A and B are shown apart, each in its own frame.
Chain A
Amino acid sequence: MAKVKGAVTVNIERCKGCDLCVAACPTATLSLQPNEVNDRGYHYAYMSNADACTGCCSCAWVCPDACIEVYRVKID
């Protein structure tokens, strides 16, 4: 069976650290930056566990600010 691997990019300056993507991700790939903030002072989302991402797009669908773009590849 072909396996999939995913990755996301987060538009750091658009992100408001709302945490909805973190809650929506079924693979616990995402976290909010514990220390770093963007120009507006938000703890933005990032892939803290990038290996787990399947590219399912759940995070992107619920993001109110369209910060997340998703990439997916099939691995044979």
Chain B
Amino acid sequence: MEIKDIIKEENKVYSKPELLDNVHMHYCPGCSHGVVHKLIAEVVAEMGITDKTVGVSPVGCAVFAYNYIDVDWIEAAHGRAPAVATAVSRLWEENVVFTYQGDGDMAAIGTAETIHAANRGENIVMVFINNAIYGMTGGQMAPTTLVGQKTSTTPYGRRIDLNGHPLEITDILATLSGTCYVTRQSVHTPGAARKTKAALKKAFENAIAKRGTSVVEVVSTCNSGWKMSPVKANEWMVENMFDKYPLGDLKVE
């Protein structure tokens, strides 16, 4: 059988999601942000909630997420996405609201907004891209940077005595009464990406049913910040990140 006989519309089993715009995404080659964008675009379309979904994009590499996924968006000031999402979901209750934030945005400058939105049990989805670094600004140490991990501000590796411990923000959020679903996933293999998609769907269902705050952490790579090839970054993540940030559900209510 020739390739041209296989490549026919009726044989198609995987397409680019329609909600992913036909524009070039500025992310570095192999960046996890792109995979997560794709999964969100798929989930929103499959759930039939395109017209009522509102995203709140961060300051960080994902600042331009509003150019890539064709739903409504607001771009929040650094770290304030959960506060902005609170306003949107309270003022337009029929909408389905999600935040999309990196570790610097969500767990450093925005720690207060993150914790209090989750503690209030806002009916939102928080998507948390934990790549253990400030990708956008040149690879500085983030709260989630691992002990010993080299970054541009910890060139000899993160030291507990000097830099403190990695912050397990997702574990903290799981202890709060306002969260109904807290999970930690990844997108480095087809199987892992499928699980993340299922987790996102569950989180969006919770927001629609107004069950409280859902948190989907995606342990991610920043191959540029980590100074590795994308394939090597995935390997490094498996070897080093999953020990500190183990995958799986932290809370399901």
B229 to chain A, nearest CB (A): 7
A12 touches B (CB below 8 Å): no
A71 touches B13 (CB 8 A): yes
Once the chains are docked, how many angstroms separate the CA of A71 from the CA of B3? Answer: 10
A61 to chain B, nearest CB (A): 4
B3 partner residues in chain A, CB cutoff 8 A:
7, 47, 50
Selected interface stretch from B32-40, B95-103, B111-119, B144-152: B32-40
Known: A9-B7, A16-B29, A71-B7. Is A62-B13 also a contact (CB below 8 A)? no
A37 to chain B, nearest CB (A): 13
B38 to chain A, nearest CB (A): 5
Task: Name the contact of A69 in the complex, choosing from B16, B27, B34, B194 (C-beta under 8 A).
Answer: B16
B32 partner residues in chain A, CB cutoff 8 A:
64
A69 to chain B, nearest CB (A): 5
Please classify how large the interface on chain B is, using the bins under 10, 10 to 19, 20 to 34, 35 or more: 35 or more
Once the chains are docked, how many angstroms separate the CA of A56 from the CA of B14? Answer: 9
B1 to chain A, nearest CB (A): 6
A68 touches B1 (CB 8 A): no
Task: Name the contact of A73 in the complex, choosing from B1, B14, B194 (C-beta under 8 A).
Answer: B1
Once the chains are docked, how many angstroms separate the CA of A68 from the CA of B20? Answer: 13
B190 touches A (CB below 8 Å): yes
A73 partner residues in chain B, CB cutoff 8 A:
1, 5-6, 11
Once the chains are docked, how many angstroms separate the CA of A14 from the CA of B29? Answer: 10
Most chain B CB atoms below 10 A, which of A6, A42, A50, A75: A6
Can you add 14 more A-B contacts, CB < 8 Å, to A18-B230, A20-B230, A64-B32?
A11-B16, A13-B24, A16-B28, A16-B30, A18-B29, A23-B231, A23-B234, A55-B6, A56-B190, A58-B190, A63-B34, A66-B38, A70-B13, A75-B1
12 contacts across the A-B interface (CB closer than 8 A) = A14-B24, A16-B28, A18-B29, A20-B230, A56-B190, A57-B190, A62-B187, A62-B188, A66-B17, A69-B12, A70-B14, A71-B8
